[in-house]
Amino acid sequence: MREWRSYPLALAMVGVLTACGGDSEEGEPLLGGEVSGDFAGKSFTAENGFATIYEDTPLIVIGDGPVHCGTESKNSPPSGTNAAMTVPAFEVGNYTSQFVQLYDNDGDFRGVGSNTGSISLTAVTAESIAGSVEFDYTSDEQEHFSVSGSFEVLLCSP
């Protein structure tokens, strides 16, 4: 795995994440599930999330930052620790080798991603996406990055 700068799709995902509103915006609360993770020794639990189609790519974003529908049209990055993941389609199924990017923005923006995530979508409706994610990586510098658990997030209108 490499830092986000090494992956073209990661740059598009960072565009979504860095286009988010700042701390003054409220996040879109998870509709269900529990997702937690680790970003280089910093634990986080997802409180917010959404799903949308971004540049023809199905994208799910979850985290403790104020991520929400409309994130892609804002100018400054959200605070907190968040994960963005892609799947081939918003269809029920199990998807391996999917791109997952974790990023942390607490005064110093940093993102790490890889196409080693496993994502399962268990329910897809016109209103929400439900599923689970498993992603785990330890860098050469022995930094640990992970996100796992189940989620249900609002499906934003494209």
pLDDT at 99 over 60: yes
The strand ranges marked E within 29-127 are 32-39, 42-45, 48-54, 57-63, 80-86, 93-105, 109-124
81, amino acid identity: T
The residue among 129 and 15 whose pLDDT is bigger is: 129
pLDDT at residue 74, rounded to an integer = 65
pTM: predicted TM-score of the whole model, two decimal places: 0.84
> Model confidence over 104-123: pLDDT tens digits?
998 888 889 889 999 999 99
Domain limits, the chain: 2-155
Interatomic CA distance for residues 1 and 116, integer angstroms: 8
pLDDT at residue 125, rounded to an integer = 97
